[in-house]
Amino acid sequence: MQTRRIFKDRLAKETMLVLTIVSILFVIVMGIGLYMKSAPILGEKSLWDLLSSSQWRPMKGEFGFLPFIVGTLWVTFIAIILAFPVSLLTAIFLTEYAKPIVKKCVFPALDILAALPSVIYGIWGTLVIVPVISEKLAPHFVEYSSGYTVLAAGMVLGVMILPLLVSLFIEVFSIVPLELREASWALGATRWQTTRKVVLRKTFAGIIASTVLAISRAFGETIAVLMVCGCMITIPNNIFESCYPIPALIANNYGEMLSMPLYESALMFAALILFVVVLVFNILSRIVLYRMEKKLN
């Protein structure tokens, strides 16, 4: 009997190890596959020309990714700027102030937001956000705006990553031992002072790591952003102009690439850019979170 239990324990351990290795191999294989598909365009053009040029004329063999990179950065930056304070304050409220009945109502709502398909966010952005920007907001700053803008894409993306940020912040705040809070209260600090000077200070690295993780998630969002960004191959000068993020480029042009091998390679290179950025951001955020947990424990 004892031998059977030991065998089952070892079998479970080895199975989980194999599955873990397979998961890592998937990432490696994906990266190698994208690089191999990108090799033709990298052989024709230098990396600097691809990343710094703004000319996108596939029929003439010109593949400049700068407008798409700038558009991606614009949209992601606006999304984080809008979602970060709301997510942080929501997480603080839920972990430090909210009663159990409030948590029971808020957590299901966040789960629903996280589970909604991205196309729903895109439709909401098209029907609500775009007209508001075009008719109400943009006329105060520019002569004309279609509403399909950097701001619209950033707002939709900000709402999409809101549940992720809240969940990450709550997880980070939960790492702080209750004893630290009780010690602060015993010294006469208010709940807000304890939150600001104990919880937030102890979890600052985790907050940064969670934000970086959310940024990596925002980089790859496609359908919702595609529906409201305007898809204009230009470098936007302000938030009321259209843009063309990299995920939208891939989604819009994937069907056209089959007849042009270099075009296919260019789109695979765009996917490789996203892959590398997301991979680096995830690794950095995990390292920071690991160090924070180790420091607190």
Is the residue at 38 inside a domain?
Answer: no
pTM of the model: 0.84
Is the residue at 10 inside a domain?
Answer: no
Is the residue at 115 inside a domain?
Answer: yes
Please give the structure tokens belonging to residue 48.
């600097």
For the chain, residues with pLDDT lower than 70 are 1-2, 255-259, 292-293, 295-297
* CA 147 to chain CA mean position, Å: 23
Is the residue at 22 inside a domain?
Answer: no
Quote the pLDDT of residue 204.
Answer: 84
Quote the pLDDT of residue 85.
Answer: 94
Quote the pLDDT of residue 220.
Answer: 77
Is the residue at 37 inside a domain?
Answer: no
Quote the pLDDT of residue 99.
Answer: 86
Is the residue at 187 inside a domain?
Answer: yes
Quote the pLDDT of residue 155.
Answer: 93
Q: Tell me the CATH number at 202.
A: 1.10.3720.10
* Cα gap 209→218, rounded to integer Å: 14
DSSP string covering 187-248, please? TT--HHHHIIIIIHHHTHHHHHHHHHHHHHHHHT--HHHHHHSB---S--SSTTS-B--HHH
Quote the pLDDT of residue 78.
Answer: 93
| Long-range pairs for 284-288: beta carbons < 8 A, 24 or more residues apart | 284/209, 284/212, 285/209, 285/210, 285/212, 285/213, 285/216, 286/209, 287/209, 288/205, 288/206, 288/208, 288/209, 288/212
Quote the pLDDT of residue 97.
Answer: 87
Is the residue at 24 inside a domain?
Answer: no
Quote the pLDDT of residue 151.
Answer: 92
Range(s) of the domain holding residue 244:
51-296
Is the residue at 32 inside a domain?
Answer: no
Total structural domains within the chain: 1
Quote the pLDDT of residue 259.
Answer: 67
